[in-house]
Structure 1
Amino acid sequence: MSTELCRLDAVELARMLRAREVSAREVVGAHLDRIAAVNPAVNAVVTVCAERAMAEAAAADERLASGAGVGPLHGLPIAHKDTHETAGVRTTFGSPVFADHVPERDELIVERMRAAGAITIGKTNVPEFAAGSHTFNPIFGTTRNPYDTAKSAGGSSGGAAAALAAGMHPLADGSDMGGSLRNPASFNNVVGLRPTPGRVPAWPSSLPWETMATAGPMGRTVADAALLLSAIAGPDPRAPGALGEPGSVFAAPLEHDVRGLRVGFSPDFGGALPVEPEVARVVTEAAKTFAGLGCVVEEVRPDLSGADEVFRTLRAWQFHLAFGPLIEAHPGRVKEAVVANAAAGRALSGEDVGRAKEGLAALFHRFREFFGRHDLLLLPVSQLPPFDVGLEYPTEVAGEPMRDYLDWMRSACHVTVTGCPAMSVPGGFTPDGLPVGVQLVAPYGADLALLRHGRAFERATRFAERRPALE
């Protein structure tokens, strides 16, 4: 029974909890047992708060038994990303500077999950300050892919995705600037949604009007991701850039007839980016799946010119603002990649940032026009399958050298600066059994439509049902 509970989709598990077919104590206990059994091989959950979680589970059972109302995440255990501050739970950001940091309050995404009934069971591993799409840091070490522990789990939400795939919790929160929800979802055969900026507001935030980074949901299915989004989306007076629709809109049914949907696809961004053949093949097969569902499918060349300069400039500017004082206060104690990004930001002029902001606007309007002709864009999530866990980052993709740890992530980074919602959905496997996701991109604000399109693809392919052979 314990193992079976850890294999259930979050939507079904939530139904069983509300129907009192299973108790929150049983569900939380089963997932704590699962963490004890498989986490040593994967290193995804880095802090476990078992006693607290069981106490919260008992309180949840009592609340339901009393007839009190419960939220949509009632009794579901979640380990929060270790960059999301969690009251009373060690939150390190993967940095030695914060190795003993215990926040006094929850940040907004954690606050909302807990208000919806979720139970905190721990924290998931991240790269230091979430810098990069491979999860390792000097405090907790490296997270491994549950489909092949010799491979990367991606990042920066790598611990979240690996734990989710391995059955350590049924839902996961994450965040995404250049692919940190999408890339690990692709590597671990789960769903990761980067929502429209402002859909999941952030607080506290020193840059509340900026759109590069956003929190979002992960799940083993599209419906599970929608369930979590329904709890974490919606406006908040502390977040001025928040979109106005309530999270409850994402509790609507996802079943949807996609016949006639206009789908543009590109296996390699029109030749603009190097993409490994195994990944390009999965994208092409996904396009055939949409065609088989009655969609109008055509190969396209999305115009992402200027996206690299925009992303790198604005990322560096934000890294300087966020980490410059910290680097000065703790010389030699911050990851070199973060130091280099912050230094690049310090060297920027106002004209550099202004030009990047103009480029950001141009990309938004270019994609607004693209989605006047199409309803959905199908792309690679990552330019290669999961790579060797011992690498800092891939040094070559499809024979092309990678300049740095951002270069191999361009397939996700470039989509970030369009402002469009984007989701990684399980798309297939390599001949060696490694997961490969496909990236679905929808018009600005069309998060619910994106979830519905992803659900139709998921039901047609059933790749999401394949679990790692990790015992």
Structure 2
Amino acid sequence: MTTPTRLHELTALEQAAAVRKGEVSPLDLVRHHLARVEQYDGDFGAFLTGTPEAALSEAAALPARQPADRSALFGVPTAVKDLVDTAGIPTTYGSKAFAGHVPDVDAHSVTRLRAAGTISLGKSNTPEFGCCCYTDNDLVGPARNPWDPALSAGGSSGGAAVAVALGLVPVAHASDGGGSIRIPASICGLVGIKPSRGRVSSGPFGAEVTGLAVQGPLARSVRDAAALLDVLAGPEPGDPHWAPPLPAGESFLGHAGRAPGRLRIGRYATPAADGITVDPACLDAWEQASQLLESLGHTVEDIPTPFGPEISAHFVTAWGVQSLGRPLEAERETLLRPVTRAWREYGRGVSGEQFAAAVTAMHSAARRAIRATQQYDAVLTPTLATLPQSVEFFDESGDPLVNLYRQSAFSAFTSPYNMTGQPAVSLPLHWTEGDRIPVGVQLVGRPADEATLIALSAQVEEASPWRDRYARLLTDPAVDVRRTRD
């Protein structure tokens, strides 16, 4: 058995197995991870709100649960993104305008996490309303890249990604409306799954005005991510979108242990949006992933980019209107950050006719792209068109349009698949020289086919494992913080 001082090096499933065997208790796991949060969170910005007392209380009560109530992640610490309501816990949506907001009802995803016996250590850091591809706000400041704290951790699930990469929790809840799971997964070296539209309920109060956003897992392994998706997945009454469930007796974790068979995979590396140059390191990652897939017996074929440049304008229109989903009186509106205000001002200028036309055009583009790739079992792209940038790169003191333009290279390959609703995963298959910075690659599955995507991702991880790369982060990441700041 791994000694208690190294519990954070275990995967989520290994931690749960240790609980089942009686080698460690949920309370031991929570205490260990809370100590790690106290040691590192101040330097890296993983959490907006910590809930140590609630976590300790929940962990102490878990052993009384009946065996039938115990999921594959029973007893495992996690974190909930602060865009999702948690009853009795401050939920700020990353905004000073909601600094005192305490919901009285859990989001359905939070209910499922509790029912599965996972224990939240707090609300993870996110940009205001989740509107940016970096994580920074006026409440606790930025989430910093665990591999180089001078760099951004990405967003909008940046806090969740930092927490998982540093071993503050083994898995974390996240959400993705344009790449917000996959962007920080690539930047922080994690597995991030954006599930199919309708796979995870956003109820009871989640916005569905565009159908872009979905909740999903961040983890250090495919199996852990699949296990958390099993916990989160499933519709609730009244949901506007339902993804078809797996056949009875099957699970996403089970598919992580199945061979995917020989697949036909299309690949492209030219963004749909004009004016974006893909960084050579991102292309290297994509090329190496292509070679790995071929070595595993899959057929990999070059395909044209299945989207046209017009989708950028459609997405911007939809995103601007969606940014208005949290109504505010004028006094609280002044508390918002410049980029958030810019999005909302733009959204107010969109007419109903323009919004309806943009959503209709998005649906048409999605249908064309799915038809164009329907002969493929998966599609391979870079996750990002750029490497991580400094925290200061996304400064909001200047022209918001400059900031928004700088974000475009981060979502060029991710946001189209929020439009189609297809499942997509970012895998940490590549690092820059000297294992300095991770560079993810994206695999996109057929509509509602997370099963094949997870089976393929698990096969890839087994062939080219990345677990050992975390040794430095899970030992003493603060050494790097001190060196960077000095």
1:12 aligns with 2:14: yes
Counterparts of 1:318-467 in structure 2, within 5 Å, are: 318-320=322-324, 322-323=325-326, 325-326=327-328, 328-392=330-394, 404-408=405-409, 409-431=411-433, 433-467=436-470
Q: Contact 2:279–2:386 at 8 Å: present in 1 too?
A: yes
The residue aligned with 1:315 is 319
**Residue 448 of structure 1: SS of its match in structure 2?**
helix
Question: What is the letter of the counterpart of residue 101 of structure 2?
Answer: H
Do the aligned partners of residues 468 and 148 (structure 1) sit closer, same or farther apart at CA in structure 2, a change above 3 Å counting?
farther
Sequence identity of aligned pairs in percent?
34
Q: Contact 1:133–1:183 at 8 Å: present in 2 too?
A: yes
**Residue 368 of structure 1: SS of its match in structure 2?**
helix
Q: Contact 1:9–1:220 at 8 Å: present in 2 too?
A: yes
Q: Contact 1:258–1:293 at 8 Å: present in 2 too?
A: no
The residue aligned with 1:260 is 262
**Residue 47 of structure 1: SS of its match in structure 2?**
strand
The residue aligned with 1:154 is 154
**Residue 454 of structure 1: SS of its match in structure 2?**
helix
The residue aligned with 1:294 is 297
**In the aligned structure 2, how far is the partner of 1:271 from the partner of 1:51?**
47
**In the aligned structure 1, how far is the partner of 2:273 from the partner of 2:204?**
40
Which range moves more in the overlay, 100-109 or 140-149? 100-109
Q: Contact 2:383–2:414 at 8 Å: present in 1 too?
A: yes
Question: What is the letter of the counterpart of residue 31 of structure 2?
Answer: G
Q: Deviations over 1:309-360 (max 9, x none)?
A: 221111112223x14x316352421122122112222222233223222322
The residue aligned with 1:197 is 197
Report the Cα offset of residue 115 of structure 1: 0.8
**In the aligned structure 2, how far is the partner of 1:372 from the partner of 1:246?**
20
The residue aligned with 1:397 is none
Q: Contact 2:129–2:323 at 8 Å: present in 1 too?
A: no
Structure 1: gaps (5+ residues): 395-400
Q: Contact 2:13–2:72 at 8 Å: present in 1 too?
A: no
Q: Contact 1:80–1:120 at 8 Å: present in 2 too?
A: yes
Report the Cα offset of residue 204 of structure 1: 2.3
Q: Deviations over 1:206-248 (max 9, x none)?
A: 6446411111111111111110110110121032323341696
Do the aligned partners of residues 234 and 403 (structure 1) sit closer, same or farther apart at CA in structure 2, a change above 3 Å counting?
closer
**In the aligned structure 1, how far is the partner of 2:56 from the partner of 2:404?**
47
1:46 aligns with 2:18: no
1:71 aligns with 2:75: no
The residue aligned with 1:118 is 118
The residue aligned with 2:483 is none
Report the Cα offset of residue 289 of structure 1: 0.5
Do the aligned partners of residues 425 and 464 (structure 1) sit closer, same or farther apart at CA in structure 2, a change above 3 Å counting?
farther
Q: Contact 2:69–2:116 at 8 Å: present in 1 too?
A: no
Q: Report the TM-score, using the length of structure 2 for normalisation.
A: 0.90
Q: Contact 2:190–2:218 at 8 Å: present in 1 too?
A: yes
Q: Report the TM-score, using the length of structure 1 for normalisation.
A: 0.92
The counterpart of 1:23, out of the listed 22, 25, 32, is: 25
Do the aligned partners of residues 271 and 90 (structure 1) sit closer, same or farther apart at CA in structure 2, a change above 3 Å counting?
closer
Report the Cα offset of residue 461 of structure 1: 1.4
Counterparts of 1:56-95 in structure 2, within 5 Å, are: 56-63=58-65, 69-95=69-95
**Residue 197 of structure 1: SS of its match in structure 2?**
coil
Counterparts of 1:123-138 in structure 2, within 5 Å, are: 123-138=123-138
Report the Cα offset of residue 46 of structure 1: 2.9
Q: Deviations over 1:160-202 (max 9, x none)?
A: 0011000000110011111100000001111111111100011
Do the aligned partners of residues 331 and 449 (structure 1) sit closer, same or farther apart at CA in structure 2, a change above 3 Å counting?
same
Q: Deviations over 1:99-130 (max 9, x none)?
A: 12222221111111001111121111111111
**Residue 151 of structure 1: SS of its match in structure 2?**
coil
**In the aligned structure 2, how far is the partner of 1:258 from the partner of 1:52?**
41
**In the aligned structure 2, how far is the partner of 1:414 from the partner of 1:219?**
23
Q: Contact 1:127–1:136 at 8 Å: present in 2 too?
A: yes
Question: What is the letter of the counterpart of residue 303 of structure 1?
Answer: P
